[in-house]
Structure 1
């Protein structure tokens, strides 16, 4: 095996949006379940080590990434990659996968996506504190990758705590809305609700739903089977008969979709303030996000932070599961670029350039600070970028 795999759990972030739980006190006792992959091979001394964090979209689970993770480990250990893949985390968001089962009977009608970003950051900090894995330092870098809602979560996690991350790969992120796009979504969503199913009489009925009728039928076969294996579970109904259900219930899907209306405005405001490199990936033929969202997102991100902008030919919104090999290539290219870029900037970091000499570092940094030479104060970002109208306008009022 290229790696070990362990399913773990940690407490979700305890401070959550109003309505997140049926009983307010339960917000302090929610659980997040995640898969942790760990390389079985050491890196060479010349290689920069990468950790990856994967965040899924609405209705999916942590195992939708399993195929991509396996291939990325193969690339890492083939000898052809300049980077080394160490630790990988793939989480089940609240109301999804095993996190849904762990919190059964507690969740309310709201799931703020920015709370999901806080959950991701808490997982990373838990791993750092308990195992020493997932560090983002001079030798090991952490890249967060997300699709759809997970793309929002990845971007917002980096906005909240940039020190935890080296870069973001956002695949078809849902992080743009207007009154018009919301109206269009509401019109089509009623039909989508009617097509959702979460309970079946037999396991074959459940498999047939995903393999033949749901939009998952276009998934690459390995991705689909990994997803189904982690999503369907056997239980009993109220009459005591065996039934097969999806871990992400119909209610959970509706909760997550509709909560986007509350969450997306926060993400739109956060984009210009993200201070880690962002790779923005969309399907060339995708239409879940509004067409104008692509240009808006890429212009909202600060130009020096937009590390890549890729349109996958013929790709749809679920491109990460339908064309995973193309997405793997993009992730690999992003890691190669980050490997090169980070190594090239190491000497510009005062701690590295001055070999950790505290007195020299203090004198250099404090003198620059006192002389208001902020360009030479490490970490003081003086570049400005705001795509929003910040002018003050007088509101018409009747006296």
Structure 2
């Protein structure tokens, strides 16, 4: 059990906020997805790269997402705008007042279509069997070199899940600092959702209109159950299914959307996890369809949706992009190493069919389209389902809640945050990192790495039976 003095909030809110109970959807059974013929397997969009951590080998892998998807529109298109934009749109200056106004008008119109489609989706059953293309998630695997080929080890396996809008590589500054603090990590998996980063490039022909957060939880479970390569073993780029192997000590670290995903996965299969460190997780208590939903939360979500749809997504060159992000107010509080990782791995050259290189290099665009990023904000059910189910999470899975200093932002205020972190009170602790808001991994990677290291060090001091109880 975590020490009592580890808690920022020592008890729940005296007046817990009310919410409307509803029927949370049970996740459907998982099954391995057979791989296509070898000639039809996707390839990585970029070559394998050297590991930034000398003691670890880095390999990047593709793992098939769970089927069926929650709704047919996950892989079908009716309102999705083309991305990258048509050539005539690319030729326009993205920073003029007229262009910004045009993007805002187009975003408002698209926002209305997205909400209308979501209402239609809510009225249909989820996870109906159908023919659909395979989507692929991506994982970066860091395997400790001294364990390779030995078939086992006494260290931990860490599993990182990013927030909406951030490629998997933005975790690497946190990981690098952590590895300097704690030396008993055998293996690290860094997850990338199918419509983010390089994974979005792999899936670009099959990305549909909608995104259901519960599908991402199922994708994580699919990987951990059927596709995770054995410790010390090499693995192909496209991971094949296999029988469930020995369970390894898994500790999940999830930020924002990623925190919610890990909780939902652990609710379904708690035996896969020893502990979860949840960084500003988006676990809300109200669906967008509930009439009593607070007006302040509606305004916040509408603002997120509108600004994301209208955001700039292309630049004349990588140098222009770096200068843009360095000057943008939102990124001023970021740690320089995280900002460098974001610009390096969130952008890619415009396709060859677009206008040729300018005087300062080839034009670049975001790998994840603004539409895909915005689709996360039109998801009313899954975060609220996780809130509703949270008390049922097996207490053998330790929870460590790590919140930022802006509880009114994504946590709904102090009363909501206090209620959330004690909703499953057993084997749970919480803290607040004072020098960062919602974006703790981006703003305070050192403090977050220390939180992770402290969790691992404290768990090392537990008796073996307590360390491994999540497997029993």
> Same fold, TM exceeding 0.5?
yes
Q: Tell me whether 1:159 sits opposite 2:267 in the alignment.
A: yes
Secondary structure of 1:228's counterpart equals helix
Deviations 1:86-132 (A, max 9, x none): 11011111211111111103122221112111111222234545557
Q: Tell me whether 1:65 sits opposite 2:180 in the alignment.
A: no
The structure richer in helix per residue is 1
> What is the aligned partner in structure 1 of residue 403 from structure 2?
282
Equivalenced residue count is 338
> What is the aligned partner in structure 2 of residue 4 from structure 1?
57
Structure 2, unpaired ranges of 5+: 1-53, 78-128, 234-243, 287-292, 358-362
Contact 2:69 2:215 in 1 (8 A): yes
Q: Tell me whether 1:53 sits opposite 2:159 in the alignment.
A: yes
**Aligned-partner Cα distance in 2 for 1:27–1:160:** 24
> What is the aligned partner in structure 2 of residue 221 from structure 1?
336
**Aligned-partner Cα distance in 2 for 1:201–1:237:** 14
After TM superposition, the score normalised by the length of structure 1 is 0.77
Of the candidates 168, 189, 192, which is equivalent to residue 92 of structure 1?
Answer: 192
> What is the aligned partner in structure 1 of residue 390 from structure 2?
271
Measured after TM superposition, the shift of residue 237 of structure 1 is 6.9
CA RMSD of aligned residues (A): 2.8
Q: Tell me whether 1:22 sits opposite 2:142 in the alignment.
A: no
Secondary structure of 2:146's counterpart equals coil
Q: Tell me whether 1:75 sits opposite 2:181 in the alignment.
A: yes
Measured after TM superposition, the shift of residue 296 of structure 1 is 1.9
Q: Tell me whether 1:188 sits opposite 2:303 in the alignment.
A: yes
> What is the aligned partner in structure 2 of residue 253 from structure 1?
373
After TM superposition, the score normalised by the length of structure 2 is 0.66
**Aligned-partner Cα distance in 1 for 2:207–2:343:** 23
**Aligned-partner Cα distance in 1 for 2:213–2:450:** 28
> What is the aligned partner in structure 2 of residue 295 from structure 1?
418
Secondary structure of 1:304's counterpart equals coil
**Aligned-partner Cα distance in 1 for 2:328–2:337:** 17
**Aligned-partner Cα distance in 2 for 1:55–1:258:** 20
Measured after TM superposition, the shift of residue 199 of structure 1 is 1.4
> What is the aligned partner in structure 2 of residue 114 from structure 1?
214
Measured after TM superposition, the shift of residue 40 of structure 1 is 1.9
**Aligned-partner Cα distance in 2 for 1:205–1:187:** 29
Contact 2:140 2:191 in 1 (8 A): yes
Q: Tell me whether 1:143 sits opposite 2:239 in the alignment.
A: no
Deviations 1:64-91 (A, max 9, x none): 11111122223333xxxxxx10110111
Secondary structure of 2:411's counterpart equals coil
Structure 1, unpaired ranges of 5+: 78-83, 350-377, 380-399
Secondary structure of 2:74's counterpart equals coil
CA distance 1:190–1:22, shift in 2 (3 Å):
closer
Secondary structure of 1:105's counterpart equals coil
Contact 2:181 2:450 in 1 (8 A): no
Higher relative contact order (CA 8 A, sep 6+): 2
